[in-house]
């Protein structure tokens, strides 16, 4: 059983203004390479056990941005790599990401993923966890086939850091005193680590020097933090149809994301009492979510979160300064701008 890869829609004539950052340059830069990556993904998600490709395909074909494997391809172009090792490694990166999404949906009890029913809702928690394990295994098979111990170390270390970040987030859940520093540490692990690894491995296969490796690591890491900051802002800022998930998921799950941290810190005594009750799980209905969104808006916590994201996006763009100007560098810079400006 196979699944189609659904491409990210491009802007249509008459759509958003041309000066708004988009992923179009990144999509154009990596289009042919992503065809090769998608072929690897489709091949390696197959199994004689029909449930495995059915469940994996449900998520993989769901039209996600696939930014992480695109980073590997874009970075490879940035450093002038002429080989094809990065295709399998980019697929490995996507398998790691997909596996973590499957596990996250089980942990969070999510109902939606990219606007569709989450895999755990359709197939059940046990199957979802086990197929996530299968995809992790496929990822490591691809790493081993590449044959580079350095690549294996980078991606395996990132996988361990992601797991640590997820556990840290779980232990911080419903903890109202979670600090901004701890929050940034959590998203730096659970999200940014894979962005950093995806970018850095391109420099490894191209046999770049340590300075270029580190620059690409810095780019991916800062981009990943910016991306997650905006994800967390969107949970209090957009319609569920635009986000492809239930608005207020983070609120109901008691996650101390940066918009809540800001609103709690700036609130009155009674407002802080509301946040304590909400994050502890005592106030999570529709009216409570509406009050939370109102308080987030009152203290400009969404815009403050986007401001933090701009800071990290600018750092990501700055890390590219050691590379020559060109289409790859411009596309990667605009991807960082898009990460902040996006509404989905």
- Show me where the domains of the chain are located: 24-341
Quick count: other Cβ atoms within 10 Å of Cβ 279?
24
Dihedral of the alpha carbons of 138, 140, 145, 149, in degrees to the nearest 10: 170
Give the pTM: 0.91
Token representation of residue 275: 């946040």
Q: Is the pLDDT of residue 262 over 50?
A: yes
* Average pLDDT estimate for 305-310: 97
Position 238 scores a pLDDT of 53
Say which CATH architecture domain 24-341 belongs to: Orthogonal Bundle (1.10)
The predicted-structure confidence for 3-36, as pLDDT tens digits, reads as follows 333 333 333 333 334 579 999 999 999 999 999 9
pLDDT in tens, 72-126: 999 999 999 999 999 999 999 999 999 999 998 898 877 777 667 888 888 899 9
Helices in the chain by DSSP H: which ranges?
24-44, 51-60, 67-78, 85-108, 119-123, 125-146, 149-172, 180-187, 193-205, 210-234, 240-243, 249-252, 258-266, 269-280, 286-298, 301-319, 327-341
Tokens of 288: 């409570």
For 161-212, what is each residue's pLDDT tens digit? 999 999 999 999 999 999 999 999 999 999 999 999 999 999 999 999 999 9
Percent of the chain with pLDDT over 90: 80
Which has more confidence, 245 or 38?
Answer: 38
């Amino acid at each position: 059983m196979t699944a189609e890869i659904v491409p990210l829609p491009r802007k249509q004539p008459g759509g958003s203004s041309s000066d708004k950052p988009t992923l179009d340059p990144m999509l154009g830069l990596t289009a042919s390479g992503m065809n090769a990556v998608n072929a690897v993904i489709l091949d390696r998600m197959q199994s004689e056990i029909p449930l495995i490709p059915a469940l994996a395909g449900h998520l993989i074909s769901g039209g996600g941005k696939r930014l992480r494997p695109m980073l590997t391809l874009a970075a490879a172009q940035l450093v002038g790599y002429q080989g094809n090792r990065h295709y399998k490694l980019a697929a490995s990166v996507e398998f790691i990401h997909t596996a973590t999404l499957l596990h996250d949906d089980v942990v969070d009890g999510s109902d939606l993923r990219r606007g569709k029913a989450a895999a755990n809702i359709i197939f059940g928690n046990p199957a979802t966890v086990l197929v996530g394990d299968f995809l992790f295994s496929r990822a490591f098979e691809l790493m081993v086939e590449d044959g580079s111990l350095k690549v294996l170390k980078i991606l395996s270390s990132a996988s361990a850091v992601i797991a640590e970040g997820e556990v840290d987030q779980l232990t911080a859940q419903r903890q109202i005193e979670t600090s901004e520093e701890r929050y940034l540490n959590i998203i730096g692990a659970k999200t940014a680590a894979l962005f950093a690894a995806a970018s850095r491995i391109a420099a490894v296969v191209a046999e770049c020097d340590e300075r270029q490796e580190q620059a690409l690591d810095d780019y991916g890491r800062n981009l990943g933090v910016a991306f997650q900051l905006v994800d967390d802002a969107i949970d209090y800022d957009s319609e569920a149809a635009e986000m492809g998930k239930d608005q207020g998921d983070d609120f109901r799950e008691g996650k101390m994301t940066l918009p809540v941290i800001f609103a709690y810190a700036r609130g009155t005594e009674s407002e802080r009492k509301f946040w304590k009750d909400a994050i502890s799980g005592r106030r999570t209905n529709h009216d409570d979510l509406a009050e939370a969104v109102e308080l987030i808006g009152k203290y400009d916590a969404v815009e403050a979160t986007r401001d933090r994201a701009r800071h990290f996006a600018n750092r990501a763009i700055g890390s590219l300064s050691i590379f020559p100007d060109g289409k790859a560098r411009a596309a990667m810079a605009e991807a960082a701008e898009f990460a902040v400006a996006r509404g989905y």
